[in-house]
Chain A
Amino acid sequence: MRAFTYSRAEAVTHAAEQTRDGARLIAGGTNLLDLMKLEIERPDELVDINRLELGTIDEQDGGLRIGALVTNSACAADERIRRDYPVLARAILAGATFQLRNKATTGGNLCQRTRCYYFYNRDQPCNKREPGSGCSALGGFNRIHAILGASESCIATYPGDMAVALAALDAKVEIAAVDGSIRSVPVRAFHRLPGDTPERDNVLEPGEVITAVVLPSPAGGAQLYRKVRDRASYAFALVSIACVLGMEDGRISHASLAFGGLAHKPWHDERVDALLLGREPSDALFDEAADVLLADARGYGANDFKIPMTKRVLKAVLREATGENA
């Protein structure tokens, strides 16, 4: 690990100033320290934000405001989350291990970096790690890589589970700036597609700090998180789906779906939600939804299987959520 100076932030605006001047913030540290040991992350200054008062879940406008420092464990254990936002609790519990979730925070989890093998391997080109060096995954091992929204610069995926549920729930990220002002960014717009600047994972700017994630009032209905991975526990998603779906008089009255493991961001396609709305559930409808979702999907060899797999998992999730062929 490269040497760095260590300090503690006394206030959110202080932390924001530090990031403006190039420092990295550390909260749980489970991803950042791993990357620092590998010298993929090489901050000169590390600012510990754990003493900031961002560690509570509070009721706000009929929903919940989850402080950026609330741990994944505390979030999944919160009674209100388990009762009113089960898709979020399920998604968090599908990720990592109890040890990691006890440290990992809500803000840090949003900012976790890809697990692309080449991003982690400093001996090979990677545009996300070294802009302009090339993408080794395009013609290399790409079993875990993106099938939607990728570019010639980068086919990495966003690896998390929590943010996929937050995208389905249409949560907002609360971000503070140096001057104390706050902006609110939908989770669906927080992570970026790679384009020709894959080194930028999300829209957070220097001089900004995530202070909370805000959930809207509970949507009710069926809430499911289905994750397909290479082993039963402690593995990243090949494909995951967060589903929030309501039924009324035999028709779908509300549908919100988000997908993990498919893209550089939690994938949300409003055309899929719109297609399902007001329709009677049927296998033909679910086929149609999958075809819309995957119309522009592209495999890169080893990840070709993700296209038919996503279709099957989506149909299974919709069957379960609507009670069709249950």
Chain B
Amino acid sequence: MPLTINGTDHDFTGDPRTTLLDFLREDCGLTGTKKGCDHGQCGACTVLVNGQRINSCLTLAVMHEGDEVTTIEDFGTAEELHPLQAAFVRHDGYQCGYCTPGQICSAKAMLDEAASGWASFVSEDLSAPGRLTPEEIRERMSGNLCRCGAYSNIVDAITEVLEAGR
């Protein structure tokens, strides 16, 4: 069963019980995506599927025939960081770093959702959510927990990328 991961063709032939997360980590060697709670509560396993962020622990690999999966491995290199990675480093947006791949995948999708005009629970005007305030960023990133509590620095890092992009 074919699917694309970070632009490369892959073939899934395993046990249907295999989550997308386990397929990425165990079969594809893409261990950047992390397993935290394995129940969709922490967001460490966040990846993009066809551009949308999802919890890879709560979906089966076998359900993703033909899909395009993007993981943290596609986000830049040690020499040339993705702007979000560079901003997380600059603002100290982590401590242990375990949640960071999920945070960055989630933040990338969040910026795209906001550019598409998607509202959030804290948006005053559903039809015109406006710019991403720190309050908006916090609400939109609430699916990504950081046990070290680097939240305020994560918000600063995302805000910097947001400002640079306008």
Which chain A residues have a beta carbon within 8 Å of chain B's beta carbons?
1, 3-6, 26, 29-30, 33-34, 37, 46, 48, 50, 73, 76-77, 79, 82-83, 86, 89-90, 93-94, 96-100, 102-103, 232-234
Contact = CB atoms under 8 A, between A and B. Distances in A.
A4 B110 contact: no
A220 to B, nearest CB: 15
A60 B45 CA distance: 39
A99 B54 contact: yes
A94 B16 contact: no
B79 to A, nearest CB: 30
A48 B63 contact: yes
B14 to A, nearest CB: 11
A50 B54 CA distance: 16
B73 to A, nearest CB: 19
A73 B52 contact: yes
Contacts of B39: 34, 37
A43 B119 CA distance: 36
19 contacts: A30-B40, A33-B58, A37-B38, A46-B16, A77-B117, A77-B119, A89-B119, A90-B126, A93-B119, A93-B120, A93-B123, A99-B46, A99-B53, A99-B55, A100-B40, A100-B143, A102-B52, A233-B138, A234-B143
Contact of B59 (A6, A33, A82): A33
B165 to A, nearest CB: 19
B109 interface: yes
Given A6-B16, A73-B52, A82-B127, A97 B43 contact: yes
A97 B15 CA distance: 28
Given A76-B119, A94-B121, A99-B40, A6 B142 contact: no
Contacts of B63: 26, 29, 48, 50
Nearest to B38: A37
A38 to B, nearest CB: 8
Contacts of A90: 121, 126
A207 to B, nearest CB: 23
Nearest to B41: A234
A120 B24 CA distance: 28
Interface of B: 15-17, 19, 38-40, 43, 46, 52-55, 58-60, 62-63, 106, 109-110, 113, 116-121, 123, 126-127, 138-140, 142-143
Nearest to A235: B142
A103 B45 CA distance: 14
A218 to B, nearest CB: 14
Nearest to A38: B39
Contact of B109 (A6, A83, A98): A98
- The 5 residue pairs across chains A and B that have the minimum distance between CB atoms: A97-B143, A233-B142, A6-B16, A93-B121, A82-B126
A73 B120 CA distance: 10
Contacts of A37: 38-39
B116 to A, nearest CB: 7
Contact of A99 (B120, B126, B143): B143
A171 B127 CA distance: 22
Contacts of A79: 127
A124 B38 CA distance: 22
A224 to B, nearest CB: 12
Nearest to A102: B52
Contacts of A26: 60, 63
B155 to A, nearest CB: 13
Contact of A233 (B53, B55, B116, B139): B139
A47 to B, nearest CB: 11
Contact of A82 (B15, B54, B119): B119
Nearest to B55: A99
Given A33-B19, A50-B63, A90-B126, A98 B143 contact: yes
B6 to A, nearest CB: 19
B55 A29 contact: no
Nearest to B117: A77
Given A34-B40, A98-B53, A234 B16 contact: no
Most buried by B among A76, A89, A102: A102
Contact of A4 (B17, B38, B117): B17
